[in-house]
Amino acid sequence: MKIAPTLEGGLRIDPETAGDWHILRAIILDANGYETDLASRLGGLVTDERIAEDWQDIVVPDLRESFTDDLHRIYAAIEAAAAFPKDGENPIWITREDALTWYSALNQARLALEEKYRFGQDPESDPANLSTVRQEALLRSQFYCALQSFILSHSL
């Protein structure tokens, strides 16, 4: 996979192998892969009894809708690129306007992976000692993090 900045302040992603498409599609799967969704986890941090009920009823559904919209847009961008190659290439364009949506989707995926596997609690752990499933999840999380860093430095 090649990732390069564009002159307009965006990024171009060129998936080259089936594995590249697999990891891009995994963004959505990973983001939805934890039992409690992100909106509920964030909403649960508001515990003051004078606020908490309204927060659950009003803010959490808005958060959920916003996060889901972001994932839908990224899913559509990936599948559109996969379905309609141009001159034998399937570039995925992240424009400056799309940058925060992409960042959000990648962040949702990393937050869900962290909840599930708790990589952050043992940052020194040797990936070689992890099970295959955890190893693959860690690699995906690291890829998402690298892409987020590109977005942060070039597009936000």
Interface with another protein, residue 46, by CB under 8 A:
yes
DSSP state of 86: B
Nearer to another protein among residue 80 and residue 156 (C-beta): 156
Interface with another protein, residue 49, by CB under 8 A:
no
Interface with another protein, residue 107, by CB under 8 A:
yes
Task: Tell me which residue of 154, 132, 133, 135 sits closest to 143, measured CA to CA.
Answer: 135
* CA 132/CA 156 separation, integer angstroms: 34
Q: For residue 81, give the 3-state DSSP assignment.
A: helix
Interface with another protein, residue 18, by CB under 8 A:
no
Interface with another protein, residue 63, by CB under 8 A:
yes
Which segment (19-27, 88-96, 118-126, 131-139) binds another protein by CB under 8 A? 118-126
* CA 69/CA 150 separation, integer angstroms: 22
Interface with another protein, residue 152, by CB under 8 A:
yes
Binding site for another protein (CB under 8 A): 38, 42-43, 45-48, 51, 59, 62-63, 66-67, 103-104, 107-108, 110-111, 114, 119-121, 123, 145, 148-149, 152-153, 156
